[in-house]
Structure 1
Amino acid sequence: MSKLRRREALTGLAFVAPVVVGLVVFMAVPLVVSLGYSFTHWNFIAPAPTFVGLDNWIALFNDPRIPIVIWNTVKFILFGTTSFLLFSLLAALLTFIPRRFVGAYRAALFLPYVLSQIAVGIVWRWMFNSQTGPLTLGVELLGIPSPDWLLDPNTAMISIALVTTWQGIGYGMTLYIAGLNSVPEPLIEAARIDGAGPIRRFWSIILPLISPTVFFLLVTSMIGALQLFDPVVAMTSSSAGVSSAGGPSNSTRTIVLYMYNQMFNYNERISGIGYAAAIAWMLAILTFAITAIQFLLGRRFVYYEALVAPTRSERRRAKKRMEALR
């Protein structure tokens, strides 16, 4: 290796080293340590953890509350992730075309995204108040009986999902607008000349071309939904603190909230940092599995052809199709 090449390699390593060290210290080491803790029992009172083998994992699979918190998380994904993707796309379509004050509209929609989730949750908790909340009073003025937004197990998680959607619309809108800007105008114009209406142009041209943006938002919002914590704590906890969050009747207790409860709950035989670490690893495996499935399905529904060169297998399949046509 020449002296210049060696100097370039050392320079590159010097720039990469801080990131690598940060990943090892703040991610790799905690992951290994938490995996080790999942085989121990420790309530922070004993001087050291006690090795218990697979007891935490056996208790995890036998815990009747695990299916409940998983289902609560699934409900949030069904309402929150779906509404986030749809309303963000709608906001992008409405603000995509340059017009007067469109920048102000975009800024107003993006502003909630930069606010603290705890602060947003506290404000919306007041708005959802079943006695004096503005939403309750507004619905009653229309002559419609107002639901007990956060006090009814049937509507509590939906209310939280709507709040997170409201806060994230600006972020999704911004990425959708970037995707819409990448759609070639000649394709839209050609479809318009051929007689395709707005709906046909959207489904046949625009949506396939912005599918990478949709896929990115789907994956990241799904990961965020699996880690839901702050809005639930802000909107459902009482004066007793975080331990009281997740109501009513455990209808909003998510996986991360249950993990937090178990980490600082020493009233049960198996609770503590060891059982919480087992729950954390279950969540990590679940997140990895869902993301892997999304990437597998994304190969069939996400249109990358205009963005990246075809792979060897794609070229081989295209060649076979051409030979068949001959």
Structure 2
Amino acid sequence: MTHATSPPRRRVTPRRLREWLVFLAFVAPNVALIVAFTYRPLIVNVYYSTLNWTLGSPTAIKVGLQNYRDFFASGEAKTVLITTVVFTVCSVGLSMALGLLVAIALNKRLPGAMFARATVFAPYVLSGYGVGLTWLYIFDPNIGALSAILRSIGITSPEWINDPHWTLTMVIIVYVWKNLGYAAIIYLAGLQAVPTDLLEAASLDGAGPVRRFFSVTFPLLSPTTFFLMVTTMLSSLQAFDLLIALDRQGRGAKTLIFDAYLTGFKGASQAGASAAISTILFVILVLLTLLQLVFLERRVHYR
């Protein structure tokens, strides 16, 4: 009769101990910073969302989930959520689609290609608030450059700033312009990683440029597309600097994060209600990320 023997325990050798100490020396400061500046504020924010608290007041009243009920019961909640969805879908879709087209154009061995790539990427690293102020003057219906161009061809400029219906369109246009370079550069890296022998084989089989792109290149770009979809969606849901520069009062581009700011720092300064809106946004971010990881990643073809 044989007896099952337990696996031998690993001895803690001086070398292994030194490796663990080096590991802790590199990891511990990062973990401490993440806990202090990410997870702790998140937990505190969830706690604040259960309070009826005015910003700056020394006292607060516990109200449980009342702030969440008040938000969804308000008539403004539907408008804010729809605005958030429209802004996210349009900004992500246009940034990725136009970014792919720009990447295809930049993926050429032509003189000045490096300068063109740097020019396309430059707006992404600029200050969002500064970009918003610049475009605010461009879109101004009275003194803006765009209105002057439209008047020269006999077209009246829309009230981009004063009309809520046009304000959201204006914000989307500027956001796509600013973030287009990010999607283009990421797609360009993906295009340059596509094996040329596959494209040559498809060409020998008689496939034209369009057929080669949709049958060979685009499927091989699925990991890049998946990465961009996740990152650009998270970025658009948290976009704030452009919105506050272009739509200070939240007349037409009041997304969830913008509504949280206006609720907490403008008017009655309801910090508890603002924290509840921020928590709702966090839950949406987590759910969208998980859904993309679970369902969309299955369609990704890793080489």
Q: TM-score, normalising length from structure 2?
A: 0.92
- What SS does the aligned partner of 1:196 have? coil
- What SS does the aligned partner of 1:145 have? coil
- What SS does the aligned partner of 2:165 have? coil
| Aligned mate of 1:300, from 288, 291, 298 | 298
C-alpha contact (below 8 Å) 2:55/2:264 kept by paired residues: no
* Alignment-derived partner of residue 5 in structure 2: none
Q: Does 1:134 align with 2:132?
A: no
Q: Does 1:155 align with 2:129?
A: no
Letter in 2 for 1:123: T
Task: Give RMSD over aligned pairs.
Answer: 1.5
* Alignment-derived partner of residue 317 in structure 1: none
Q: Deviations over 1:103-158 (max 9, x none)?
A: 11111111111211111101101000112211122123233333222333332211
C-alpha contact (below 8 Å) 1:122/1:234 kept by paired residues: yes
How far apart, in 2, do the equivalents of 1:303 and 1:209 lie? 6
Relative to structure 1, the CA distance from residue 22 to residue 163 in structure 2 (aligned partners, 3 Å threshold; closer, same or farther) is: same
Identical amino acids, percent of aligned pairs: 37
* Alignment-derived partner of residue 242 in structure 1: none
Matches within 5 A, 1:229-308: 229-237=240-248, 245-247=249-251, 251-265=252-266, 267=268, 272-304=270-302, 306=303
Relative to structure 1, the CA distance from residue 79 to residue 189 in structure 2 (aligned partners, 3 Å threshold; closer, same or farther) is: same
| Aligned mate of 1:191, from 202, 206, 227 | 202
Q: Does 1:99 align with 2:104?
A: no
C-alpha contact (below 8 Å) 2:191/2:217 kept by paired residues: yes
Once the two structures are TM-superposed, the CA of residue 45 in structure 1 deviates from its matched residue by 4.1
- What SS does the aligned partner of 1:144 have? coil
Once the two structures are TM-superposed, the CA of residue 297 in structure 1 deviates from its matched residue by 2.6
Letter in 2 for 1:254: T
C-alpha contact (below 8 Å) 1:83/1:162 kept by paired residues: no
Q: TM-score, normalising length from structure 1?
A: 0.85
- What SS does the aligned partner of 1:79 have? helix
* Alignment-derived partner of residue 322 in structure 1: none
* Alignment-derived partner of residue 324 in structure 1: none
* Alignment-derived partner of residue 75 in structure 1: 86
Q: Does 1:117 align with 2:115?
A: no
The count of corresponding residues between Structure 1 and Structure 2 is 292
C-alpha contact (below 8 Å) 1:73/1:225 kept by paired residues: no
Q: Does 1:85 align with 2:96?
A: yes
| Aligned mate of 1:164, from 159, 175, 180 | 175
Structure 2: gaps spanning 5 or more residues = 1-11
Relative to structure 1, the CA distance from residue 300 to residue 140 in structure 2 (aligned partners, 3 Å threshold; closer, same or farther) is: farther
* Alignment-derived partner of residue 173 in structure 1: 184
How far apart, in 2, do the equivalents of 1:150 and 1:198 lie? 43
Letter in 1 for 2:233: M
C-alpha contact (below 8 Å) 2:103/2:188 kept by paired residues: yes
Q: Deviations over 1:185-223 (max 9, x none)?
A: 000000011011111111111111111111111111111
How far apart, in 2, do the equivalents of 1:138 and 1:229 lie? 29
Q: Deviations over 1:78-127 (max 9, x none)?
A: 32111100111111100111110111111111111121111110110100
* Alignment-derived partner of residue 66 in structure 2: 55
Letter in 2 for 1:101: G
Once the two structures are TM-superposed, the CA of residue 278 in structure 1 deviates from its matched residue by 1.0
How far apart, in 2, do the equivalents of 1:48 and 1:208 lie? 57
* Alignment-derived partner of residue 47 in structure 2: 36
Structure 1: gaps spanning 5 or more residues = 238-244, 307-326
How far apart, in 2, do the equivalents of 1:94 and 1:265 lie? 45
